[in-house]
Structure 1
Amino acid sequence: MRKRLPKLNELQPCKIEVEEEGSKRFDCRRGPREQKSNDPENSRNYPSPSTTGEDDIRRLIDDIESIVTLSHTIRVFTIKWQLIRKKLEELSMFLVAAETPLPRYNHNDNNVNTQNLHQHKCLSEAVAAISGTVRVCRDLANRCINVSYSGKLLMQSELDRVISKLDFAVKGVTDIYNSSGVVTGDLALVVLKPGLGSGREDMRFYVKDLWTRLKIGDTQMKRQALVSLNEVITEDEKYVKIVVEMGDLVILLANCLDSNDCCIQEQCAFAIAVVSGFDSYKGVLIVSGVIGPLIRVLEKGSLKAKESAIRCLEKLTENGDNAWALSAHGGVTVLLNLCSNYEQVDVELIGPACWVLRNLVGVEEIKRFMIEGDAISVCVRIIKGRDELGQIGAAEFLQSMASGDENVRQLVIKEGGARALARIVDPKSNYSFKSRESALKAIENLCYLSVESVNMLIGYGFMDQILYFLRKGDTSIQELAFKSACRLCGTSEDARKSMGDIGFMAEFVKFLEAKSYEIREMAAEALSIMVLVPKNRKKFANDDHNIGLILQLVDPKEGNSGNFKFLLSIILSLSSCNHARRKIAHSGYVKNIENLADAGVSDAKKIVRKLSANRFRNMLNGIWHS
């Protein structure tokens, strides 16, 4: 089912040195001519190959995996056994790659046969030597489990010795791949990608094979391995979990971010960005040291690599605890420089850079550093530009900076932030819906908090802009404008007067019959605030339709009971006006108010008392003048 890596016997002669007991070494460069004349390798009657070589490799792999499993139960010298376990796993990885059937000899090609026989002997000797070291590992493991060693110092010395042997063995096998050209694009066969529904072991085997190629392959093979890795981790998140569980693979990806090869750098950045999309795996990335390399990519990488790197940093900094890690590697300065030079930088990076900076605002020291670094004026300039993502990112960053900090809010307004945002809202400008949405939210958070700022907005013509979208905007922008206007009328009496003068109340009345309950309630609340101003109250009462509609809507049969609080508040305010009170009393829907009063609704009772007092006064006036 799986295609293996190329057969070691097909490779050019290479040197492999494996240390066995007594420091015996095997040198594969030694050719047949150096052998004694009675050596079978010099005979022209070449023997048929046996399967002993493959069997030995398989047994060795099984032994190594058995010792790795056994080592997890050891409770003494844990640090040293972790190192031994890592070396054994590396060794197993190379041996799995070498585990392929040896080729049949070509009886018509003496040169090939001589080379194959020599490679066969070289591999067999290496496996035999490594097997001896593995047997020593098993013996030491059993002794540590049973605590049957004579002394700690002596056991430490023996463990150090076996670590040295394993390290030597790994280096020797690695040399086969690096110096012999085993893993090159021309020679390597790719392990087949597991199909849909494949088991976890098959998936892990495939990822492990890609890891091998990424670690010891040439440039072309590294590229192919990364492309294949990115293909599976984007298709199935199970592969992402396997990648994370193989911690060394994440570290390898982090190290490859510093590759001089543009393709390798881009593919590694993409893979790390995919992993960063899972909250539970972000800690593994941080521990694996990705922050520093990602920042270096932002400084010198290609556009594609930078896009993945900055997306990853945005995800990682969503956890405020990681802000210091980014700052420690100079990330804040790099991001500020990127934003400062936004005219020379690819626009795709500006918005995400602002979002990363936004995530760092929670750390007061970093926030102050950004303010001193002129971050506010930089963001205002970005808002004045034409890039949509940049405008959105800068607007969100400024909101986060000013949140709960009056001094920063004033600084943003002083630097021209409010005026720049108001220009985006202007119907005469040609900005996207998303840019206008972010601008409106920013204006609400920055300017609706003080009377001075609201008056400044009025001077910019902001209210006329909102009213235009209420009347003529499409559904999406109309809803944004409506919600912003509802909040605006609650900011100050001057704002309510201005809104009443230019016609906001008539627009709010239209929303009283909207399909959305939320919109109906917001419209009723806004009107209840607007009519607190006597001038607005008189203007509202002049339109008979307004009073009739509100009295009609307080009918419980109409299903507007949720709005009764604000609708009754409107009627109660209107009832303080003689002109409006007469219209209410003579309306055909006044019975709705009386029914609510009979049901014990407090505001309805107040309205009925006002209406009754007015009727009583009218009766007295009639009697007095009769």
Structure 2
Amino acid sequence: MHPATVPPSQPPPAPLSPAETLEKITQLLNHLLPSTLSITCFASRWQVLRSKLASLKSLLSEISDSPHWSENPLLPPLLPALLSTLRRTETLCHHCCDASFSRGKLLMQSDLDMAAGWLSKQINDLELLLRSGVLHQSTAIVLSRPNPSSSKEELTFFVKDLFARLQIGGLEFKRKALDSLIQLLSEDDKSATVVAKEGNVSCLISLLDLNAHDSIRELAVHAVSLLVSAGDLPRKSVFEEGALGPLLRLIEYSSVPVKEKAAMAVEFITADTDNAWAISAYGGVPILIELCKSGSVTAQSHAIGAIRNVSVVEDIRIALAEEGAVPVLMQLLISGSASAQGKAANCISILASTSEYFRNLLLKENGLQRLLNLFHDCPTADTLEHVLRAIYALSASDTSHRILSGSTQFIIQIAELIKHGNIRLQHVSASLLAKLSISDSNKIAIAGCMGSLVKLMESVKPEGMQEIGAKALMLLLSVKSNRKELVRDEKSLMRLVQMLDPKNEVVSKKFPVAVVAAIMAGGSQGCRKKLVTAGVCGHLQRLAEMDVTGAKKALQRLSGNRLTSIFSRTWRE
């Protein structure tokens, strides 16, 4: 027997070019649209399908009029799927026109609904491409990223193309688009506004889903974290598109790098007080507290930053107490990074300033002593400021007030900050000094900061600095030796005289007037002579005539009633 002859295998047909595929789609549509008019069964479903086919025909006509449509890498992959959908729809049309076809009614309804769904998705993709404008320009495979000098139009087109790739393209297109988006946001903060306005932020947020591909999700959360860090408008856009919930889920269930980026994004989103309330709605408080306990150093810093942001909301403060946030704050003061320590101290200052309940909670956890330990060995000026503000807030407690007032070491340190710290540290240090009840010996020990306090009385910013400087200075002037030392300091005395000058409108006159009254409280002849020689009397006379608070009394202390007219006449002459 001869072996059976095996027919040679046929080579697969050559794939159609995009132009050929579009032509076949157009031909099929031209045949299919009139064919559906004669179908009588499932009339409502075929009416929906006919409407979608008509929309599709209009879109394809518009696409074919775009000179560069075939060069766009996003469109050709859509056409074979669209051709397949139309062929399935044509088959359904034949079945519904064939009276002898015995397919089940429910099954046919399901098939028609599926066809309508496919067409809807494909029409949406085509509309997206047309709306973005990317089909009207030659885009090659990858657009070059705009540089900072690029026009707004170039940047807008680039952003629209990126988001078209995110919505329509496959995995590789999405990955490249996200890489480009991350580079754009990293290099140019201003581009974030264009992304928020022109890009589909909702699409970007959808890529945070736990079911998304790991590599895409990691890139998406990175892009979101950069976007929210770039300004109010991008942050608002991301929040309003519902990013907070997915970001919190990523903190719960993702890898360490994703947790860090997600926590960073949550911190920036909650920095806007209008957004902070939403943390409770998504069950975010225990998630953030857990991240503070067990997260990486970077994740801890962002998590405590978010907790600090939301602690301004009363309802969330209650949740923080119930979920055990206070012991976590205490632990971060001891073992956290410099950034986490500063944010934890900031959070403590917010909580302690709201109510006695929180002050007691913090003190029970040894909060004051831990803050003092950190204060004595603070790593950065920013952390030091937050620690001082937390100590100031806790000083509202009688117990804390006594401890701080009796600590010579602490008092000397804040005096040094008044002399050598930046303006914010000077402000909070002077505020603490003015609030405490310190001994005369400690007032003498820190007399060296009086010149700095006089200088602070000239400061317009921060608000309240002039009053705080005056109060702290008057506290130290309750000691006779300090009054004598201040008037011996020629620079400070001249500053005081200049502040009293009615022509000097920068300084509120009631503060230097009160300081003069404090200097003269003991009736020292030496102090009186120094002040008179410096020219204080003339300014006080003028201020008394202007009815400045305390000026008349200070003038009386300085000159005595019987000499007032003499000093006044001498000044005028």
The TM-score bracket by the shorter chain reads: 0.5 to 0.7
Listed as ranges, the matches of 1:130-529 within 5 Å are 164-169=114-119, 190-193=141-144, 196-197=150-151, 198=153, 200=156, 203-213=159-169, 216-217=170-171, 220-234=172-186, 235=188, 236-237=191-192, 240-241=195-196, 244-245=199-200, 247=202, 249-255=203-209, 257-259=210-212, 261=214, 263-277=215-229, 279-280=232-233, 285=238, 289-318=242-271, 325-341=278-294, 345-385=295-335, 387-426=337-376, 429=377, 431-447=379-395, 449-460=396-407, 461-471=409-419, 473=420, 477-492=421-436, 494-495=437-438, 497=440, 499-504=442-447, 506-513=448-455, 517-518=459-460, 522=465, 526-527=469-470
Q: Secondary structure at the match of 1:517?
A: coil
Compute the displacement of 1:541 (Å): 3.2
* Letter paired with 2:373: R
Name the residue aligned to 2:38: none
CA contact (8 A) 1:402 1:408 kept: yes
Q: Is the CA contact (8 Å cut-off) linking 1:258 and 1:297 kept in structure 2?
A: no
1:592 aligns with 2:538: yes
Q: Distance in 2 between matches of 1:269 and 1:286?
A: 13
Could you say what secondary structure the match of 2:434 adopts? coil
2:510 matches 1:565: yes
Say if 1:599 and 1:124 are closer, same or farther in 2 by CA, change over 3 A.
closer
How far apart are 1:589 and its partner, in Å? 2.3
Looking at structure 2, the residues matched to 578 and 376 of structure 1 have their Cα atoms a distance apart, in angstroms, of: 51
Q: Whole-Å Cα distance in 1 between the matches of residues 416 and 440 of structure 2? A: 18
Separation of aligned partners in 1, 2:496 and 2:21: 95
Q: For residue 524 of structure 1, report the CA deviation from its aligned partner.
A: 7.4
Whichever residue aligns with residue 192 of structure 2, its letter is E
Could you tell me which runs of 5 or more consecutive residues in structure 2 were left unpaired when the two chains were aligned: 1-7, 30-44, 94-107, 125-139, 565-573
User: Amino acid of the residue matched to residue 423 of structure 1?
Assistant: N
Aligned-pair CA distance for 1:357: 1.7
Change (3 A) 1:296 1:101: closer
Please say if residues 496 and 530 of structure 1, whose CA atoms lie closer than 8 Å, have aligned partners that are also in contact: no
Q: 1:503 to 1:191 in 2, by over 3 A?
A: closer
Which of structures 1 and 2 has the larger relative contact order (alpha carbons within 8 angstroms, sep 6+)? 1
* Distance apart, 1:590 and its partner CA: 4.6
Contact 2:502 2:542 in 1 (8 A): no
* CA distance in 1 between partners of 2:402 and 2:287 (Å): 38
1:583–1:528 CA distance, 2 compared to 1 (3 A): farther
Q: Does the CA contact (< 8 Å) of 1:310 and 1:349 recur in 2? A: yes
User: What is the deviation of 1:361?
Assistant: 2.8
Q: 521-530 vs 227-236, which deviates more?
A: 521-530
Change (3 A) 1:359 1:434: closer
Kept in 2: contact 1:401–1:408 (CA 8 A): yes
- Cα shift at 1:496: 7.0
CA spacing shift, 1:159–1:203, aligned 2, 3 Å: farther
Partner of 1:9: none
Deviation at 1:485, TM superposition (A): 3.4
Between the aligned partners of 1:168 and 1:478, the Cα distance in structure 2 is 64
Cα deviations by residue, 1:63-87 (Å, 9 ceiling, x for unpaired): xxxxxxxxxxxxxx9xx99x979x9
State the distance in 1 between where 2:339 and 2:505 align: 41
1:4 corresponds to which residue? none
Sort the Cα spacing of 1:536 and 1:130 in 2 relative to 1 into closer, same or farther, 3 A.
farther
Distance change in 2, residues 1:269/1:481 (3 Å):
closer
Query: What's the CA shift for 1:376?
Result: 0.7
State the Cα distance separating 1:500 from its structure 2 match. Answer: 1.9
Amino acid across the alignment from 1:100? S
CA offset digits 1:116-154 (Å, max 9, x no partner): xxx9x9889648649989x9xxxxxxxxxxxxxxxxxxx
> What is the distance in 1 between the residues matched to 2:240 and 2:531?
74
Contact 1:531 1:537 in 2 (8 A): no
Measure, in 1, the Cα distance between the counterparts of 2:541 and 2:340: 56
Structure 1 residue 607 and structure 2 residue 554: aligned? yes
Q: Give the Cα–Cα distance (whole angstroms) in 2 for the partners of residues 202 and 597 of structure 1.
A: 66
CA distance 1:578–1:402, shift in 2 (3 Å): closer
Return the offset for 1:384: 1.6
Q: Which amino acid aligns with 2:484?
A: A
- State the shift of 1:575 in Å: 3.2
Q: Which moved more, 1:396-405 or 1:220-229?
A: 220-229
Contact 1:531 1:540 in 2 (8 A): no
What amino acid sits opposite 1:192 in the alignment? L
CA-atom RMSD, angstroms?
Answer: 5.0
1:536 aligns with 2:476: no
- For 1:357, the aligned partner's letter is I
- Contact kept, 8 Å, 2:476 with 2:482, in 1: the verdict is no
Instruction: Work out the number of aligned pairs and report it.
Output: 482
1:258 positional shift? 4.1
Summarize deviations over 1:388-421 as a string: whole Å, max 9, x none: 1110121122222233211101221231222222
Q: 2:404 is matched by which residue type in structure 1?
A: L
Structure 1 residues 557 and 486: alpha-carbon distance in aligned structure 2, compared to 1, 3 A threshold = same
Q: Which residue pairs with 2:498 in the alignment?
A: 553
- Identity fraction in percent: 21
1:306-352 Cα deviation digits (max 9, x unpaired): 222012212333456655654454432222122123xxx32111121
Cα distance in 1 between the residues matched to 2:9 and 2:179: 42
Q: 1:274 to 1:56 in 2, by over 3 A?
A: farther
Alignment partner, residue 39 of structure 2? none
* Distance of 2:192 and 2:160 partners within structure 1: 13
> Could you tell me which amino acid in structure 2 is paired with residue 442 of structure 1?
A
> CA contact under 8 A between 2:205 and 2:241: conserved in structure 1?
yes
The offset of 1:568, in angstroms, is 1.7
Which letter does structure 1 place at the counterpart of 2:206? L
Structure 1 residues 521-540: Cα deviation after superposition (integer angstroms, max 9, x where no partner): 94676445654688424541
